Structure 1
C-alpha cells in the first residue's frame, strides 16, 4: 500500500514548477488525512468480517429436571442434559468467506478513490496558492515601476513637461496596487490555512511557494485507455462480483442444515436386588435435519440479486459516461488555457513595447502619463490573465491525472 501511495504522488507531480514542495505536501496529506484513515479503518473492519463468517451456529445446551420422576424398568429418571450442534450445508462457510472478501475488495476501492480525490484537492489548492504568490510578485514589480514613474513625473514637472495631476494619478494608482497587495496577502493566508487543514495540521504552518508560474513546453499526449481501470469504475465491477457471491451464499442457505447432538438422562436406582442395569444412566446420540420448506424468502433474495446486478451495470455505464465527459472537458479546457496563456504573453510583450515608446517621449517632449498608466493597467491585467491561464492549465491537468493515472 505504501508503494502505491508513493507512485500516486509521483504521477500527480507535474513539471519543475511544482518542485519538491507539492510532492512533500501530497505525502503529508496522504499520511495524515483523517478521511483516508476513516476509509482504511472501515476496510480493516470489513476485512475482519471474514473471520466472523468462518463460524458455526451456536451450540445448543439443554438441562431438564424431572419434578415428577417417571419410572422406567431400570429406575426413575431424575434429570436430562442435552447438547446439539447444527452444521451448515457443504460449502456454506466458504461461500460466506468469499462474500465477506468481496465486500472488503469494494471497501479497498473506496480507499483508492479517497486517495485520488485528496491528491487532486491538495494539488488544486497548491496551484491556487501558486497563482496568488505569482500575482503578489507581479503587483510588487508594478508598484516598483510606479515609483519610477512618479520620480519621472516629478522631474517632468520641474521642466514643465507634466502637471501635478499626473503625479496624483500615479499616487492613486499606487494606492490601488497597495490595496490589491493587501487583498492578495489576505487571500494567501486564507488559502494557506485551507491547504493546511487538508493536510490535517495547524492552519498557521507556513508553506513555501515559488513565485513563478510557467507552462511546460512539451504537451503530453492523452488517451482514454486508462479510464476503464479507474477505481470509481473498478468499484462497480467488485460490487457486481459481491452480488454474485451473495447469491452463492443465498443458495447455500437454501439447503438443509444437519444437526448432531447427545442426550444424557440420569437414572436413580430401584430398591430391588439383582436387577440388571439398575440405575444405569442413558446416553442417546441424536441426528437432526433442518429443511427450509418455506423458502419463499430465498427466491425473493435471488430476484433481488438479479435486479441489483442490472442496477450496478447501469450505474457503472452512467458513471463511465460522466467520467469520459469530465475528461474530455478537462482536456479541452487545458488546450484553451494554453491558447489564453500564449495570447496574454503576446499582449504583455506588446504592452511593454508601447510603454517604452511612451517613455521615450520623455527625452523629446511632453510625457502623457495618463497613457502610461493605461498601458501599465493593461500590462498588469495581461500578467494576471497569464497567471490565471497557467493555473487553469495545471488544475485541468490535475483533473486529467485523477481520471487517467
Structure 2
C-alpha cells in the first residue's frame, strides 16, 4: 500500500537505517529523525543494520526485517521509515511483513514539501514530483488483483486496473508539465520585467535550516516564515534592496537543499530553481555551528552543479556564529574559505560586513561614466539619474556632460555618443 506522511502524522513510527560504513551515515540518520519530526511523526524506536549493501527482497535482510516486524507488533506502530529510497519490491515485501505502512526518505521529503507548499506553483511542482515517484510503484497497489503467471488467458482485472491507473497518471503528469510551462512563461515575463531595470539579482542558497529566510527578513524588512524546521520555506520571494549610495539589488529567498535530495524534486522544481540559475550573484549560507557544515556545503554544490549554477559568482556566508562558543572555529573557517563572511542573521552581528561585500561586488558590475549627450536627449539623462549612482550633470551650450557610475549593461549603448570613450572601470580608464 502507498502510505503518506500526512496519514502518519502524530502516529508512532520506527526509523530504520542501513549503515554501509559511509562517513556521513550518522548525520544522515539524525537528519531523518528531524525530517520525521518536521512531518509531525512520533518516533518510538531507531534501528540500524550494518551491511555492505542492501538486499533485493527486504533491503535490510529478512532476519532483521522479521525482528522489526516483532517490534512493530509489540509497540503498535503504524509506520516504518527507511533512510534511503526503497524499490517497489522492497516496499511490497516489507509492508506485508510489518503489517503497517512503509515510508522511505524520498516519500517523506515529498510529503513535507506537500505540507509546506502554499502557492499554486508550489502545489503543482509537488504534485508532479509525487506522481513521478508513484508511477514505477503502481504495481504495489494492485497485487491483490493480479495473477502470478503471465501469458494468454492470465490477464485479469488487476492488470486492466493497473493500466487504467498508469494511463491516468501519465495524462496527469502531462497536464501538470503543461501547467508548469505556463508558470515558467509567467516567471520569464516577471524576470524580463526585472531585467529591464539595471539592477542585478542575488539569490540566497544553502542547506535547509541554514537561516536564509532569517537573513532575508533582516536585510529586506520582510516577514517570510521563519521556523526551526527543515524546509520551512518553499516558494521563492523576491524584494528590491537598496544600499546607501544608490546601489540596488534584487534579493531572492529560495528553497533549501538537503542530502539525497530526490531527483523528482529537482526535476519538478526547475521553474523555481531558475531563480538560482538566472541570478547574477549567489549568497551561500552555511550553519557554522553544524558539525557537518562542510558536508552541507558539498551537498549544496552538488545541486548547483546539477542545475548549471556552480560557476556563478558566490559569497560564502558563515551564519549562526552566535551559537559558536569559540572564536577559533570562526577564524579557521575564514582561513579555509578566503573571502567568506561570518554573521549572525538572528542578532544582526556581521551583517554590515556582508553588505560591504555585496556592495563591492555591485561596484565591480559598474563603470564610471564621462560623456556628452545631445541637448535633446534629456530622456537619457533622466534614465541615468534613475539607475545610476553619483550622477552629476553639466549643461553646456553644445551638449549635456554626464558623470557617474552606471551598470555594465548600458556601457555599449552609451558609447555611440560623443565623449563616451571616457568610460572607466573602478577608476581605471578602459578607453582614452
Which bracket does the TM-score occupy, shorter chain normalised?
Answer: under 0.3
Larger Rg: 1
TM-score (norm 2): 0.24
Give the structure, 1 or 2, with the largest relative contact order (CA under 8 Å, sep 6 or more): 1
Higher strand share: 2
